[in-house]
Amino acid sequence: MNEPRQLSLNAFIYPSGHHEAAWRHPQSQPHRIYDVRYYQEIGRTAEAAKLDAVFFADGPALRTEVRHNAASGLEPITLLTAIATATTHLGLIATASTTYYEPYNLARLFSTLDHISGGRAGWNIVTTGTDLAAANFGLDRHPDHAERYARAREFVDAVVALWDSWEDDAIVLDRAAGVYADTDKIHPIDFAGEFLKVRGPFNAPRTPQGHPVLVQAGASNDGRAFAGQYAEAIFTAHQRLEDAQVFYADIKTKAREFGRDPDQVKILPGISPFIADTEQAAKRLEREFNELTVPEYGLKQLEGIANTSLRHLPLDEPIPLELFSDAGDVVDNARSRRQVVAGIVRRERPTVRGLLHRLAGARGHRVFAGTSEQVADTIEEWFRNGAADGFNVMPPYYPGGLEVFAETVVPILQRRGIFRTEYTGTTLRDHFGLTRPASRFAPRPASVR
């Protein structure tokens, strides 16, 4: 008999919270965002609630908006290693760029995290969307979208081949014979592509998970195709159930087209919940945060999406529809986020200030203000209606926003039988319900040769 389908829930850690004004609110702790104990405490809160994982975004450049927002520049793989020592089951997912790393180095970083944590690592694969990074790596220009995705495919192929290059039984540990490893079971990968060349083999054995879980967050046409081919979990942003359902079906179809089991691809939209005892109090809390926003900061973000100056627009007049009239079909990630904003403008006709507040909560991810029961209801609705396999929980403020979710929403989901009450495995793959991949170099049974 099949086990009932279970939600996946990650805590998406963002310095002092996902609302852009969180650092100004008294319930946040921006003075601690460079303190490792702060993140270890968040990790322990997530693990006590039996969440699947914590997740860190990252980019190899200083955000220009740091004047008006708290931004932690801590390197996430190192930070997750510290969280690994403070937890026992919690998954550990970090963002790392295929444009600004080399395959062998990155393979070592994630392999080490997976070994240290006993099989809890995940790699959020990004190509990096900002031009700011190029100059930090001695480049005259940031590679264009198509080139970045072409390199990304080679990069992932090379990294996974490195992780596979030791067969599972390569370590013999025969002290009597003086043989530690069977070198016939350790393979060079001899990878050669248009952008990358890696000989191998890797310098460490396969990890407890076979290899870390592959995660992806691109919503562009290239990003969706990439996700269908490689991703085992996909982070995405949607405002409405029907849009999430279309994306969900598309990714599952693409996975099938690549010969993959769509149930082995987890779709995880973001949700940023303001939670209080009453809906009125939750909406009041959201207004408190919005009133702390700095328009200059929000306008800079919105100008990046609209690709035009907006400083001439009165803050309290409706935003012109024509600013987003050319959103069109999804081509790249900037355009996909533009479509999200265009949809808000068309449906809600907000003022400029209203749109800035609308986007302040979670950078285009869904913001929801309500009671714990209402938050659980919307999570369950998306989960049961083909829109999500789980969620990236994006608390508006840390650490309290996660604590409220863990203490009040998670028990409701547990009572409804759609979220675990105890961990049933020890690895991130166990939590996500993903199978352990076999090494590509492992001998195949005679029947399938």
Q: What is the mean pLDDT, run by run of 10 residues, along the chain of 449 residues? A: 85 95 96 97 98 95 82 92 98 97 98 98 92 88 91 98 97 97 97 97 97 90 90 94 96 96 97 98 96 91 84 90 67 60 87 90 89 98 98 98 98 98 98 95 65
Contact between residue 133 and residue 99 where contact means Cβ atoms under 8 Å apart: yes
Phi-psi domain of 386 (left: phi exceeds 0; alpha: psi -120 through 50; beta: other): left
Closest by Cα among 59, 64, 70 to 24: 70
Would you state the structure tokens that stand for residue 238, as one six-digit string?
A: 């949607």
The per-residue pLDDT for 131 is: 81
The per-residue pLDDT for 333 is: 46
SS3 content of the chain, % helix, strand, coil (to 5): 45, 15, 40
Contact between residue 258 and residue 226 where contact means Cβ atoms under 8 Å apart: no
Tell me the backbone φ, ψ of residue 240, rounded to 5 degrees. -125, 150
Contact between residue 215 and residue 234 where contact means Cβ atoms under 8 Å apart: yes
Residue type, 449: R
CB-side neighbour CA atoms (13 Å) of 260: 22
Residues 6 or more apart in contact with residue 377 via CB below 8 angstroms: none
Residue type, 50: K
pTM: 0.93
The per-residue pLDDT for 445 is: 60
Tell me the backbone φ, ψ of residue 97, rounded to 5 degrees. -90, 135
The per-residue pLDDT for 289 is: 96
The per-residue pLDDT for 64 is: 60
The per-residue pLDDT for 207 is: 98
The per-residue pLDDT for 266 is: 98
Task: Detail the DSSP E strand segments found in 21-90.
Answer: 53-56
The per-residue pLDDT for 449 is: 46
- Residue-wise DSSP of 95-127: EEESSSS-HHHHHHHHHHHHHHHTS-EEEEEE-
